Amino acid sequence: MSLLIRLVLVAAGLIAALFVAQEAPNFGVLQAFIGMLLIVALVGVLAWLRR
């Protein structure tokens, strides 16, 4: 489970780095926001596939 979360946060960090410099004060907030969006999208896709 922690590996899945780590992979999501790495992906969120890569996506956030496209929009904001990593040294920016709000980088962590943007990374967390994108991570939550990725998790919601993953849960949505899984729910749609199991329908």
26 closest CA partner among 16, 12, 40? 16
pLDDT band at 1 (very low <50, low <70, confident <90, very high): confident
pLDDT exceeds cutoff 90 at 2: no
Q: Which residues contact 38 (CB under 8 A, 6 or more apart)?
A: 8, 11, 12
pTM value?
A: 0.82
